[in-house]
Amino acid sequence: MSPDTTAGASPVNQDVSLQVPAQAHLETHPGLSPDGGPSVTLSIWRGDPGGGAFVEYQMPAIEGEVVLDVVHRVQAGPAPDLACRWNCKAGKCGSCSAEINGKPGLMCMTRMDQLPQGVPVVVAPLRTFPVIRDLVTDVSFNYTMARQLPPFAPRPAGPDGIYRMMQIDVERGQEFRKCIECFMCQDVCHVIRDHEENKAFYAGPRMFIRYMELESHPLDTNDRRELIRRRTGLSLCNITKCCTEVCPEGIHITDNAIIPLKERVVDASYDPVAWLGRKILRRTKRSAAEAAADAPAFSSPTREDR
């Protein structure tokens, strides 16, 4: 900080948020090596579509830091043009996905002290997507797949214009809606990670949880099962569960979305008994009018709600 603002910290100042432990100043002066103090080394892939290489940056270690903190210190110091995407730095936006020591992870939620000590931490861009520069990749694939999804189509609301849904009805969908769109499940999925040609017809784990969310949505009237079978590449998934392993939100992508979707697709397309049952009983997804007719009756709130 500049000399005149240092002088500005007058004794009458009462703002406690200023009481910054001395240690914090390490991060204000990147590149400064504490005398013989511990250091950390990041080996960051630097490059563009034309190619690139790993570059090592040694920085002083600071207690409690996450990988993104060190990347920021590298930017503020030796490499101001180091490209990296980030927003919230609190694990809520899913921007700072990278491959840390070969595994996809959020840089803002990966603590340095939980990685192997004494060796450089390797940070590379997501492999599945075309690189733009350094740690930034072109994730437009995911947005394209999102645009292809047939949207939510709710049944009509009750007579008072309000939907009634029970907590048990929404819980399953709420798990999927925890998704922060970090796209690490898309990145780690070998179907497109190792087979570029599959990208043209593979929605990927992130979109599978979205399809499952809508398929099991208590209000939705749209049957997408045939479409899922033929157009989203669901059967390319061989349920090897890497998506679940890397999900920072702990969503059980495989068990709660992909496999249930596969089973629903079997119901619709591969199961002769289910097919026969439908023919005989003429049962399909209930019509919107039918569903609206038996919305739970109005009642007043109870004490548990409070």
Partner 1 sequence: MPDHETHDFDVVIIGAGGAGLRAAIETKERGLRTALVCKSLLGKAHTVMAEGGAAAAMGNVWPDDNWQVHFRDTMRGGKLLSNWRMAQLHAQESPERIYELERWGALFDRTSDGRILQRDFGGHRYARLAHVGDRTGLEMIRTLQQQAVALGVEVFMECKVLRLLKDADGRASAAVGYWRPSGDFVTFNAKAFVIATGGIGKSWLFTTNSWECTGDGDAIAAWAGADMLDMEFVQFHPTCMVWPMTARGILVTEGVRGDGGALRNAEGRRFMFDYIPPMFASETAATEEEADRWYDDHTNNRRPPDLLPRDEVARSINSEVKAGRGSPHGGVFLDIATRRSPEYIRRRLPSMYHQFKELAGLDITTDPMEVAPFQHYMMGGIWVEADTGATTVPGLFAAGEAAAGMHGANRLGGNSLSDLLVFGRRAGMAASDFAGGRLGTPTVEEAEVDQICKAALEPFGRDSGESPYNVHRDLQETMQQLVGLIRSETELVRALDALDKLDERTKKVSVTGTPAYNPGWNLATDLPAMLTVSRLVTRAAIERRESRGGQTRDDYPKPDLELGKVNLIQRLRPDGTYELEQVPLPPMPAELAALLEEEPK
Partner 2 sequence: MSTTVEQMKPIPVTLGGARGGPDQRTLRRDRWWANPSTTFVFLTAFVVYTTWAVFQNAYYYVGGAAHRDLISPFYSPCLTASCVPGAHGGLVITWWMISPAILTLGGPLSFRFTCYYYRKAYYRSFWQSPPGCGVADGHARYTGETRFPLILQNIHRYTWFIALIFNVILTIDAIMAFRLPGDGGIGVSIGTIVLVLNALLLWVYSLSCHWCRHLCGGNVNRFSEHPIRHRLWKLLSPLNHYHMQFAWVSLTWVALADVYVRLVASGWILDHKLF
177 touching partner 2, by CB under 8 A: no
56 touching partner 2, by CB under 8 A: no
Stretch that binds partner 2, among 15-23, 69-77, 95-103, 175-183 (CB under 8 A): 95-103
Residue 115 CB, nearest approach to partner 1 (Å): 14
Find which of partner 2, partner 1, none residue 80 binds, CB within 5 to 8 Å per kind: partner 1
Find which of partner 2, partner 1, none residue 111 binds, CB within 5 to 8 Å per kind: partner 1
Residue 249 CB, nearest approach to partner 1 (Å): 9
Stretch that binds partner 2, among 17-25, 79-87, 106-114, 131-139 (CB under 8 A): 131-139
Stretch that binds partner 2, among 21-29, 78-86, 88-96, 98-106 (CB under 8 A): 98-106
150 touching partner 2, by CB under 8 A: yes
Find which of partner 1, partner 2, none residue 227 binds, CB within 5 to 8 Å per kind: partner 2
Residue 193 CB, nearest approach to partner 2 (Å): 8
* Candidate residues 9, 165, 276, 293; the one interacting with partner 2 per rule CB under 8 A: 165
Residue 244 tokens, joined: 């679940």
**Quick one: DSSP state of residue 104?**
E
Residue 209 CB, nearest approach to partner 2 (Å): 15
Q: Is 155 left (phi over 0), alpha (psi -120 to 50) or beta?
A: beta
* H or E element, residue 186: helix 184-188
Taking the C-alpha atoms of residue 244 and residue 19, their distance in angstroms, rounded to an integer, is 41
* Candidate residues 8, 28, 178, 194; the one interacting with partner 2 per rule CB under 8 A: 194
Instruction: Enumerate the β-bridge partners of residue 105.
Output: 98
Length of the chain: 306
Question: Closest by alpha carbon to 111, among 138, 130, 91, 129?
Answer: 91
Taking the C-alpha atoms of residue 130 and residue 52, their distance in angstroms, rounded to an integer, is 13
45 touching partner 2, by CB under 8 A: yes
220 touching partner 2, by CB under 8 A: yes
Report whether 121 contacts 111 (CB < 8 A): no
Taking the C-alpha atoms of residue 241 and residue 73, their distance in angstroms, rounded to an integer, is 35
CB neighbour list of residue 166: distance below 8 Å, 6 or more residues apart: 296
Question: Closest by alpha carbon to 126, among 102, 110, 109, 108?
Answer: 102
49 touching partner 2, by CB under 8 A: yes
Residue 238 CB, nearest approach to partner 1 (Å): 28
Toward partner 1, which CB reaches closer, 136 or 191? 136
Question: Closest by alpha carbon to 144, among 204, 229, 94?
Answer: 204
Residue 100 CB, nearest approach to partner 2 (Å): 9
Residue 248 CB, nearest approach to partner 1 (Å): 9
Toward partner 2, which CB reaches closer, 17 or 300? 300
Backbone angles phi, psi at 96, to 5 degrees: -95, 35
Taking the C-alpha atoms of residue 139 and residue 210, their distance in angstroms, rounded to an integer, is 17
